[in-house]
Amino acid sequence: MSLTAPETLVFWMTLFFLIFAFLLTKMGWKPILNAVKEREKSIEQAVLEAEKVREEMAKLKADNEKLLQQAREERENILKEARELKNKILAEAKSEAEKVRNDELAKTRKLIEAEREAVVKDLQNQVAQISLEIAEKVLKNQLADKDKQMDFIKKNLSELKLN
């Protein structure tokens, strides 16, 4: 390579480089770099936001799950309580019925007892009456025929036994 005057290209290269580096910076590099940066920032922001939304969704879902779980438990509880109540009411009703029946039974038994006592008393009274009547008849018969009366008494007595 034959060396030409060195100042020629040093001058032009410096001049052109300064001018065009300035122009390129103003109309090219700066806007492009800014646009790229802006875009990267917006992408980063979007990603962050998506992450946040996802977290919120997860939280919401967890909340829902919890609520659902609570509701389920509540339902279970209510059902259980209802079952218990039913059983209790049934048991109560049963015992009540038992009691009522027993009472009724006791009352009836008492009535029957009283009735029977009354009958027995009546019977006793009637027996006494009848005995008296028989005694009266015996006494009357004794007066007529001793044997006959004796038979009569026997006959009456046997009749009484049949009664």
Interface with another protein by CB under 8 A: which residues? 1-14, 16-17, 19-21, 23-25, 27-33, 35-36, 38-39, 42
Q: Which is nearer to another protein, 16 or 127 (CB)?
A: 16
Q: How far is the CB of 2 from another protein (least distance, A)?
A: 5
Nearer to another protein, 7 or 147 (CB): 7
Q: Tell me how far, at minimum, the Cβ of 50 lies from another protein, in Å.
A: 16
Q: Rounded to 5 degrees, what are φ and ψ at 3?
A: -80, 125
CB 155 within 8 A of CB 144: no
Measured from the CB atom, the residue of 35 and 118 that comes closer to another protein is 35
**At its nearest, how many Å lie between another protein and the CB of residue 34?**
8
Q: Are 156 and 126 in contact (CB under 8 A)?
A: no
DSSP 3-state percent helix, strand, coil across the chain (nearest 5): 95, 0, 5
Least distance between another protein and beta carbon 53 (Å): 19
End-to-end CA distance of the chain: 171
- Quick one: 28 or 48, whose CB is closer to another protein? 28
Spatial separation of the C-alpha atoms in residues 73 and 67, rounded to whole Å: 10
